Chains A and B, each alone.
Chain A
Amino acid sequence: MSKVKFDNPMSRQVYSLPELIEDQYEDLEPKARKVLSFEEIFNIQKIVITGAGDSLAAGEATKQVFEQLTGIPTEVVKVIDLARFYPKNQLGTDSQNPLIISVSNSGSGARVSEAVQRAKKHGAYILGVTGNLESDLGEYSDKVLELDIPDFESAPGTRSYVVSLIALLLLAIRFGEVRGNYTMDQAMDYRYDIKNQGENLRKVLDLINEQAIQVSKEWNDLPYFEFIGAGPDYASAWFGHAKFLEANGKISTHINSEEWFHINFFARDVENIGTFVFASEDNEAMSRNKELIHYNNIMGRPLVIFTNGTSETFDNEEGIYIQVPSAKYGFNNVLTNIAPICLIASYIAELNDEEYGRGTKGKWEFADNGFGVKTSTIEIL
């Protein structure tokens, strides 16, 4: 094992997040304001957010805020479901409805292309959120919210996920503002809270990093990891499991706080399952999260809790508490509560001399340059 420095491209991505949040807010705020007209925003009767991988998680992380701020029913649909299974008669229900928000920074995934082509064919209205106007997503979208994410060292995507979240949060805020659900002053307060998460993260990042290093050293040899949360925190848990698989290749699962009691708690070898729980203080499923943490401890699973609360919030249950920034508006917590898990994922990779994405070598060679995602038979049903 080479000398571990706890400093790698992925951890440096995390350290770039405060500035990225502030800069991307400035870039995306005016774009999100103008991408749809008043008429288009008032026309929306249903929103479908679609994506794959991190983009799907970004949709899951913001589904509730779309419904909360806009009052418009909102679904998050996996691209393969939208492409192959979503009922045709629910696409193009009325003029320009539903609004499909398709998120993909590269815009180049075959299934993303297929999903937006099918949705457009049957009459839905497509708002692409992408950094690639030349991609199929850019081409088939009726409107595009263009992402412009500065280049960085290659690593499992942390920056692109956070930027996707900023874009979606700004769209939700904008839709609610235009539809008169709250005042412009309130809308600006929601927006500034997004930007302020940059500074909030900057203030605690060194402390989070120390804890992340400690957890990585202690849990490095564990073979299994599980990521749990509810609502928007489930999206962060999902994102955490994805980063573990990408960065260090450890076997990782994700599940929500309710389903854990139905399924995953049955797993054997409990002392070898590193369990990460995402539990924001204002999460509506807090009571269930407390039960989850309590029974997790009875079973003897190693436990880390990511929260903007404290151990007191969880009745001083045992566990390693990593305190993440607390936004003024809870829906903005998703921007920063993923910072520590990205650090841990990267440090465990470093400790194991593990190449990100297995270096797309050997058995993983077929996936080089995103081949497995970009190259796939497209069927427009």
Chain B
Amino acid sequence: MLKKFDIKTSYNEIVDITESVKETVQESGIQDGLCIIYNPHSTAGVTTFSPWDPDGFLDLDDEIRRLVPTRIDFKHQHDTPQDAAGHVKSSLFGVNEIFIVADGELLIGGSQNIYFLEFDGPRSRSYYVKVSAD
């Protein structure tokens, strides 16, 4: 089963997509297998992160910016500095996550949610959820 989701993001937004993934797994009816979340963009990422402390997201955002600050000396000058930084961030974080499906449910930790990371924005974005049986 493959399902596409369309979202609209704001500037550097961290979008919680956990429920959409869990619901897709349940809709698939698959009891045991794998679930892949894939983001087809070059200036966005996918990751897992703890949802409990809202300030944690500020830390995540701070560290992403610290690791890859938006600078004017990128060699990729076709678009914008933010775009050039976004490409690097996307590559570092990756554009997919893989989870185990067990007993018809997404196997995911209690302190783990799944997030779409916007490294540009506002943009019209999409992501895919693929559920496959063993």
Contact = CB atoms under 8 A, between A and B. Distances in A.
Interface of A: 33-34, 37-39, 42, 177-178, 180, 183-185
A34 B80 CA distance: 11
Interface of B: 70, 72-74, 77-84, 120-124
A296 B123 CA distance: 49
B123 A39 contact: no
A183 B74 contact: no
Nearest to B74: A38
Contacts of B84: 38
Contacts of B120: 183-184
21 contacts: A37-B72, A37-B77, A38-B72, A38-B73, A38-B74, A38-B77, A38-B80, A177-B80, A180-B70, A180-B80, A180-B81, A180-B82, A183-B120, A183-B121, A183-B122, A184-B79, A184-B80, A184-B120, A185-B122, A185-B123, A185-B124
A345 to B, nearest CB: 41
Nearest to A33: B78
B101 to A, nearest CB: 35
B72 A34 contact: no
Contacts of B121: 183
B30 to A, nearest CB: 36
Contacts of B72: 37-39, 42
Contacts of B81: 38, 178, 180
Contact of A184 (B70, B73, B83, B124): B83
Contacts of A184: 79-80, 83, 120
A33 B78 CA distance: 7
Contacts of B79: 177, 184
Contacts of A178: 80-81
A185 B120 CA distance: 11
Most buried by A among B74, B77, B122: B77
Nearest to A174: B80
Nearest to A187: B80
A33 B76 CA distance: 12
A301 B40 CA distance: 62
Contacts of B122: 183, 185
A184 B79 CA distance: 7
Contacts of B83: 184
A37 B76 CA distance: 10
A180 B83 CA distance: 10
Contacts of B123: 183, 185
Contacts of A33: 78
A173 B57 CA distance: 33
Nearest to A39: B72
Contacts of A42: 72
A38 B80 CA distance: 7
B98 to A, nearest CB: 30
Given A38-B73, A177-B79, 20 more contacts: A34-B77, A34-B78, A38-B74, A38-B77, A38-B80, A38-B81, A38-B84, A39-B72, A177-B80, A178-B81, A180-B70, A180-B80, A180-B81, A183-B121, A183-B122, A184-B79, A184-B80, A184-B120, A185-B122, A185-B123
Contacts of A180: 70, 80-82
A34 B78 CA distance: 7
A266 to B, nearest CB: 52
> Which 10 A-B residue pairs are closest in the complex by CB-CB distance?
A38-B72, A39-B72, A42-B72, A178-B80, A38-B81, A184-B79, A38-B77, A177-B80, A37-B77, A180-B82
A36 to B, nearest CB: 9
A178 B74 CA distance: 12
B80 A39 contact: no
Nearest to B80: A178
A34 B76 CA distance: 11
Pick from A38, A178, A184, A185 the residue with the most CB of B within 10 Å: A38
Name the residue in B70, B72, B78, B120 with the highest tally of chain A Cβ atoms < 10 Å from its Cβ.
B72
Nearest to B122: A183
Nearest to B123: A185
Contacts of B77: 34, 37-38
B9 to A, nearest CB: 10
A39 B83 CA distance: 15
A177 B77 CA distance: 12
Nearest to B11: A183
Contacts of A38: 72-74, 77, 80-81, 84
B65 to A, nearest CB: 14
